[in-house]
Amino acid sequence: MYFERERIKHPLVLSRPALLLVDLQKYFCQKEGKAYLPGVERILATAQKLLNAFVEKDLPTIVTIHKGNSPSMMRWWNNIVDGDQTGPCLDCRSSIILYKDSYDAFHMTDLEEILSKRKVKQLVLGGVMTHLCVETTARSAFVRGFDVVVVEDMCWDKNDWYHFAALKNLAHSFGVITNSGELLCALESLVPAIGYNGGRFSEEIRF
């Protein structure tokens, strides 16, 4: 399957995880948005459910908002995300909101510092688009030493080809591809441990 690494199968292991939801904003997720992705509504309920589950466990949650003002983004897309298109499509009042201007959520942002201060070891990702911002951020997290988990039914793309190709690439050598059901089961089984600033992190649990 596309979500299994080709040579070595890595089980889902939760260890000091944080949730990163990528660009689930009006620009991509509402029909009035200039870059609306048809069908993206299917993942919003899943994203909200996982976001709530992480918050209930006192685990860090970060929500990115894409602005796309960098010169490289302008060369490719020739547009800027208007202010009214940057609003998140989720209830993320308990989350850190992170604005970014490129595909990579680490590039010229405070994301790495945010994660390091909270002693995060593992980054759980979902959002849009799978083959652009999600995949680029996942690769960037990997080279920075974070364990990467991508939730396939919490990602969306322009078409299935882009979506599954990105997941297969990541599964080969960058991270574990899972689904929301498996991740929720893992979260429910976590044994809390005192972490940074009173936040609770999990002991490692294998599935």
The highest-confidence range among 1-15, 70-84, 133-147, by mean pLDDT, is 133-147
Evaluated on CA atoms 128, 27, 57, 192, the torsion sign reads positive
Fold topology of 13-206: Rossmann fold (3.40.50)
pLDDT value at 6 more than 80: no
What angle, rounded to 10 degrees, do the helices at 41-56 and 180-188 form? 10
Contact 20, 64 (CB under 8 A): yes
- By residue count, the chain amounts to 207
Q: What is the pLDDT of residues 22-77, one digit of tens each?
A: 999 998 999 988 889 999 999 999 999 999 999 999 999 999 999 866 667 666 66
87 confidence band (pLDDT: 50, 70, 90)? confident
Which two tokens mark 142? 């990997």
Amino acid type, 131: H
Evaluated on CA atoms 49, 51, 58, 136, the torsion sign reads positive
Contact 121, 147 (CB under 8 A): yes
- Bridge partners of 206, per DSSP, are 13
Q: What is the pLDDT of residues 145-203, one digit of tens each?
A: 999 999 999 999 999 999 999 999 999 999 999 999 999 999 988 766 555 343 444 34
Q: What is the pLDDT of residues 119-138, one digit of tens each?
A: 999 999 999 999 999 999 99
Which pLDDT score, from 0 to 100, does residue 100 have?
Answer: 94
Question: Which residue has tokens 């909270």?
Answer: 118
* pTM (2 d.p.): 0.88
